[in-house]
């Protein structure tokens, strides 16, 4: 139950980030049983292709990096591990968050209803079956 709730929360945050910041997101999760879950804000194939062809230096984090950043944040007494972490929500942004939450909740309710009616799980829009992703990435 905890995994499913946290996975849902992570996908919701990814959705919010993609809408609020106009960015592309590809989220790939393998659970302890090696079952694949994925979310893409646009077409997963396009985002993965962009990722594999990207040659510029970029931020890449691991669990140990995140733990280190969180420890530094605690010692500095600030709210964000990022140096420029002073963000203020404007009324417009707050309204966007509210609208996104409502849209996402409605989308998930509809998805749950469809899943119950069809009696099986279907991935959310913008996702691909794992076999297709692996085949196209040459793995």
Instruction: Indicate whether 75 belongs to any domain.
Output: no
**Residue 98 CB partners (closer than 8 Å, separation 6+):** none
Q: What is the pTM of this model?
A: 0.53
Domain tally, the chain = 1
Q: Are 81 and 69 in contact (CB under 8 A)?
A: yes
Q: Which domain holds residue 51?
A: 2-59+90-136
Q: DSSP characters for 25-36? A: -EEEEE-TT--E
Instruction: Indicate whether 107 belongs to any domain.
Output: yes
| CATH code assigned at 117 | 3.40.1810.10
Instruction: Indicate whether 74 belongs to any domain.
Output: no
Instruction: Indicate whether 16 belongs to any domain.
Output: yes
pLDDT, tens digit, 9 for 90 and up, residues 67-113: 888 888 777 765 555 555 555 667 777 777 778 878 877 777 776 66
Q: Are 112 and 104 in contact (CB under 8 A)?
A: no
Instruction: Indicate whether 118 belongs to any domain.
Output: yes
């Amino acid at each position: 139950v905890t995994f499913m709730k946290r996975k849902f929360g992570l996908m919701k945050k990814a959705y919010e980030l993609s809408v609020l910041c106009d960015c592309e997101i590809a989220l790939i999760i393998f659970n302890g049983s090696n079952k694949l879950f994925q979310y893409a804000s646009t077409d997963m194939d396009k985002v993965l292709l962009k990722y594999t062809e990207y040659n510029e230096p970029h931020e890449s984090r691991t669990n140990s990096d995140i733990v280190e950043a969180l420890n530094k944040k605690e010692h500095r007494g600030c709210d964000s591990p990022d140096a420029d972490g002073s963000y203020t929500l404007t009324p417009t942004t707050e309204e966007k968050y509210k609208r996104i939450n409502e849209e996402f909740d409605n989308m998930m309710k509809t998805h749950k209803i469809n899943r119950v009616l069809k009696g099986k799980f279907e991935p959310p829009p913008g996702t691909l079956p794992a076999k297709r992703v692996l085949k196209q990435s040459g793995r």
